[in-house]
Amino acid sequence: MAEQVPAVGNILSLIERRDWDRLQAALAPDIRWTTAVEEDLRGPEAVIERLRRDPVPGPPAFHELRDGLLVRWIDKVG
């Protein structure tokens, strides 16, 4: 398995620890998150609300950072 980039590892670690305050600080205000079932979430509040209920995701199929903040996450489908 390919090694994760530090930003992805950090995001996944925050989700695993359920550290919602630090996760929110790591997400851009205009974050776009696509779940594994291809549901599009927009904004930190929507993303965190979903992550509170769902299992911890695996590494994404795609992610994008801007100024050190996560702006795009696309879960692997399946």
Res 1 pLDDT > 50: no
Class for the domain spanning 6-74: alpha beta
Q: What Cα–Cα distance (Å) separates residue 15 from each residue in 55, 59? A: 9, 12
User: Residue 77 — very low, low, confident or very high, per pLDDT cuts 50/70/90?
Assistant: confident
User: For 2-60, how does the pLDDT look when each residue is reduced to its tens digit (9 = 90+)?
Assistant: 456 889 999 999 999 999 999 999 999 999 999 999 999 999 999 999 999 999 999 99
Q: Where are the domains of the chain?
A: 6-74
User: For 62-73, how does the pLDDT look when each residue is reduced to its tens digit (9 = 90+)?
Assistant: 999 999 999 999
Cα–Cα distance measured from residue 73 to residue 69, given in angstroms and rounded to the nearest whole number: 11
